[in-house]
Structures are given as structure tokens and as C-alpha cells.
Amino acid sequence: MTTPAYLNGDYRPLEELAIPVMDRGFLFSDGVYEMIPIHQGRPRCLADHLTRLRNSLAAIQIQEPSDWDEIVGRLIEASPDPDCLVYLQVTRGVMPSDAPFVKHYCDTTPTVFGMVKAMGEPPDSTHAITREDRRWGRCFIKSTMLLETVMATQSAREQNAGEAILHRNGNITEGATSNVFAVVEGMIRTPELGPTILPGVTRKLALQLLREHGVEYRETDLSLEEMRNTEEVWLTGSTRGIMPVIKVDDAPIGDGTVGPMTEQLRGWYQEYCLNG
């Protein structure tokens, strides 16, 4: 079966697409991306994903090149499964081969790419490792420069864990590909947004659902030590939804099972994805 995809104005199977090697995305990771979950043919929080994509583009000074609604709509229509992910990527484009290397941007036309990806079946819960956050300081940009994320994810896999929870100066920032929540002495906490955190769309939705159900939370520092002694930990992300963490490094979280607040929020989240 072929994979529906889009490149610079053309809708074609992924298998037929190719990018020139002088594309700055290939050479320098000079680009940004988005991953949008689609439930029963409906994009979840599309406006938030597109706002974040526009913010990422503006932050690296790439002019917004495309009609996203049209591209996302056509990729969903072409998807063999109504539950899927739509991946979008924009790079600064192909630079002339005699352009000065690296030093400055060239007068390029952005490369715009999209494809459908299978949603996959997330596990019921996961284990996490912890790791120093060695990424750059502008993590609010959803950059394709993902080397440290790849290394962190690989390290988690090698330790039979599903995520690496990152920390700077003893404070949790986020997961390698997720945002982090914990219940500390009965209060839900998640690190406040800032330059070292991606403003997760699922994080925002989780906070909205908590507010709608009258559940209090705090966006504030969460130390590594606090997280280790907490009652519940969960991750949020477009591909995982609300994902309970039942073990961090070698120690169980709470009694090592999915906690009641996590279960409750996951129920609200699933209902939202099905009914909007």
C-alpha cells in the first residue's frame, strides 16, 4: 500500500517523492515540523497545531508558504485509515550549490512536505528514564534538529523504557517527545512554559479539560526529587495522548499502577477525541 503525501504543490505517494541534497533541511536541519493526530477523520486541535507551526516558522524567519487547511484536508481524505497522524514539515529550501556554506540564509523558496502516518496503538502505561536536558535553549520552536531527542529516545529504548524525562539544574523540563505532569501531595503540577519547553497541544488540552471539570493544577517548577516521590506521573503528546508513567528509572511511581487522576483525565481526553 502506498502512503499519501504532498511535496511543493504535488499530491503523490510518498514512495515517488525525493528532496534535492542541497535542501537546507537535509544539510542543516534548517526547518520546522508538526504532527497532527486525526481521530475518525477529524483533526484534533488543528488550530493550535497550525498556530504553533506559524510561530515556529516566524521564530526562524521562514515566510509562511502554504494553505495548511487544504493540505491537511486532502491528506486526511487520502488516508486509508480515519485514525492517523498528519506530519507537516517546512525547510528553508534548496540553496544554490555555489552559495556560501552555512554562513547566512540564501534567497530560497521553502520546501513544504506533508505525509500521512499510521497512528499506532499506544501501550496502556509506560516506564521512563531520567536524563540531563542537553538540548539547545529554544525548545519552543518545533525544530527538525532532533539529534539529542533521538539519543535520549534511544537511551530509553535500551533501558526498556518508553520515554526519557529531561531535567535542567534539578528541575524537570519535559519528556524527549512529550510534556510531563505529576501529582505532588494531591496537587497536579506541570512545568511552566518557557524557552526550554515545547508548548504541547496535548498539554494545553489536558489543562483545559482539568479546568472544565473543576480540577485545580499548578504550572510551576517540578524537581527531579519531587517527581520521584510523587503519587502519579503522566505524559502528554499527540501520538500518546495521556500516557501513565508507572516507573521512573528503577523505582515505581506511587504503587506502580495507573493512578486515579491519570485514569480520569485519560477518560476525558478520549471522550474529547471522539466527540470534540
Ligand X SMILES: Cc1ncc(COP(=O)(O)O)c(C=O)c1O
- Applying CB under 6 A, the residues found at the interface with ligand X are 35, 174, 177-179, 198, 200-203, 236-238
Nearer CB in complex with ligand X: 11/87: 87
Nearer CB in complex with ligand X: 201/227: 201
Catalytic residues: 142
Nearer CB in complex with ligand X: 95/198: 198
Smallest gap from Cβ 179 to ligand X, in A, equals 5
How far is the C-alpha of 116 from the C-alpha of 75, rounded, in Å?
6
The two beta strands, 126-132 and 163-168, are parallel
Smallest gap from Cβ 189 to ligand X, in A, equals 16
Smallest gap from Cβ 258 to ligand X, in A, equals 20
Nearer CB in complex with ligand X: 24/142: 142
The two beta strands, 187-190 and 217-219, are parallel
Smallest gap from Cβ 185 to ligand X, in A, equals 25
Nearer CB in complex with ligand X: 6/181: 181
How far is the C-alpha of 4 from the C-alpha of 213, rounded, in Å?
38
Smallest gap from Cβ 186 to ligand X, in A, equals 25
3-state secondary structure the chain: CCCEEEECCEEEEHHHCCCCCCEHHHHHCCEEEEEEEEECCEECCHHHHHHHHHHHHHHCCCCCCCCHHHHHHHHHHHCCCCCEEEEEEEECCECCCCCCCCCCCCCCCCEEEEEEEECCCCCCCEEEEEEECCCCCCCCCCECCCHHHHHHHHHHHHCCCCEEEEEECCEEEEECCEEEEEEECCEEEECCCCCCCCCCHHHHHHHHHHHHCCCCEEECCCEHHHHHCCCEEEEEECCCEEEEEEEECCEECCCCCCCHHHHHHHHHHHHHHHHC
